[in-house]
Chain A
């Protein structure tokens, strides 16, 4: 697979991923475009530059692991993994259809190359801690990355896990909050405000990095800082735009969980050239 640190190449891949996300969800007639589009640069930077992994040897013991705790954003995960060669790109448009490996939320039964089945929010940090503890026991350099929604941070289990990892110094975990400010019912600040979010993670013993989640060089720098941080897990608060890259979807709660119409698909793809 292609590995690159060139931000221009990573940006080009990101644009391709956005197009695929729009096409997949339109074809499926249901799904979550907003939170998939906000996480594009996060996943692209991780899979194509930062993470140590090998699609030809997906169960390599010392691989870095990735968990999409906000499982509803799986179209971007499937697109990125297909681009890496983990799974067939020509089946991406079977998303959510009977018999497809591309289930509505990530499901290891259908896609053994996934690290975890997710979809019920709040559980990814705990899973990541378990994988990270196993790596420490095995004296493996493996690191575990987990992408969380900001609305998801309202789940109590997140903070049980945050307390554990901070106290136990599980420094081979990186939790990335896709902080797009919107959840299903509206703006996060109106539903259940998470601020001051950085202070919360710091109070639980985490090293916190705030970053523009669409700025690839800034993300590369942030992940490098996370890797060189020992004695503390890292929380990367990625400030993102829900629906990023499609003007009429940006910052619009409507597109949290609504598929584009055929006309909207056409308009979206016209913007992603």
Chain B
């Protein structure tokens, strides 16, 4: 297997911790950065910013709708607000406000949803967000980011602050494998090919990127050459990279910690159907809400593991072969 990154998958920080760190660093260099939270600052990790810049931190209490629109007001008056909560609350409770006060007038708001997906674990499905990418992508004009590890999160949070326009950033609760070296460069809207391969392309976002790298290793052991693409930007999606992968391997697996029928997979399928036909398989949460349990147990039970990506790759390859 040709691995384009030199790095082993050792455990790094949670992406929410990386967000908190990046926010503090941004606060030190740009006085216009402000932060808002809805009584979850110790969980979303905005607490570090709050400690260092109390005058620029706005605790909104448990009122996400109000928080979203206050953030829009701050942005309209020249600030660069980062509003954060659990992804499930930020988008579901703040959606209408994000639509009317942020997306529609296209203000410079940054929205961060932490504890996304089912890997939040024991708290259970009311706190889990399996539809946040879908909701964020349906906010016209929003840029939607879903970094896979701490290095990409720090870099992309800073890029989100540097660009003008509304951005949603998806973060997770649990510590996750470190994929990138500190000197890796990222560009919003440009996918990263982590592993090169010729038989099948494993496209993934968030936690499923590391699982897809492990899947590529397992496939290689069986003589199957799998490429891995990290889609850290869900919108705008890297059309060129996806079309190229479809053309090159003619078999794709899209994996995400999200409902399969409304997340990254369907958006990739749209590009594939418009460009180069390919056999496609999808790994994700299938039309259900999960349950309480340890994160690892849940990822196993709901089929979001390397083994599931491997099985999906084999199904895609079988169809590719049958079709050729």
- Chain A interfacial positions (CB closer than 8 Å to B): 61, 65, 107-109, 115-120, 123, 126-135, 137-138, 156-157, 160-161, 163-164, 168
Contacts and interface: CB of A to CB of B under 8 A. Distances in A.
Contact of B76 (A119, A120, A127): A127
Contacts of B56: 137
B71 A130 contact: yes
12 contacts: A107-B104, A107-B105, A109-B105, A123-B101, A127-B70, A129-B73, A130-B70, A130-B73, A157-B97, A160-B63, A164-B60, A168-B58
Nearest to A158: B66
Interface of B: 34, 55-56, 58, 60-61, 63, 65-66, 68-79, 81, 96-97, 99-101, 104-106
A161 to B, nearest CB: 5
Contact of B100 (A61, A123, A128, A135): A123
Nearest to A112: B105
A94 to B, nearest CB: 21
A130 B104 contact: no
Contact of B69 (A107, A115, A119, A123): A123
Contacts of A164: 60-61, 63, 66, 70
A204 to B, nearest CB: 12
Interface of A is mostly: helix
B78 A157 contact: no
A130 B105 contact: no
A124 B104 CA distance: 15
Given A116-B101, A120-B96, A137-B56, A131 B106 contact: no
Nearest to B100: A120
Given A120-B96, A127-B72, A127-B73, A137 B79 contact: yes
B65 A128 contact: no
Contact of A134 (B65, B77, B100, B106): B77
B63 A163 contact: yes
Contacts of B65: 126, 156-157, 160
With most chain A CB atoms within 10 A of its CB, the pick from B69, B75, B106 is B69
Nearest to A170: B70
B61 A130 contact: no
Contacts of B69: 123, 126-127, 130, 157, 161
B60 A130 contact: no
B257 to A, nearest CB: 30
A183 to B, nearest CB: 19
Given A117-B100, A117-B104, A137-B55, A130 B63 contact: no
Contacts of B76: 115-116, 127, 130-131
Contacts of A131: 73-74, 76-77
A126 B100 CA distance: 12
A163 B67 CA distance: 12
Contacts of B71: 130
A161 B97 CA distance: 13
B78 A134 contact: yes
A127 B63 contact: no
B55 A130 contact: no
A109 B71 CA distance: 19
Given A117-B105, A130-B81, A161-B69, 18 more contacts: A61-B78, A107-B105, A116-B101, A120-B96, A120-B99, A126-B70, A129-B66, A130-B69, A130-B71, A131-B74, A137-B34, A137-B55, A157-B65, A157-B97, A160-B61, A164-B61, A164-B66, A168-B58
A139 B75 CA distance: 16
B34 A123 contact: no
Given A116-B105, A117-B105, A161-B66, A126 B73 contact: yes
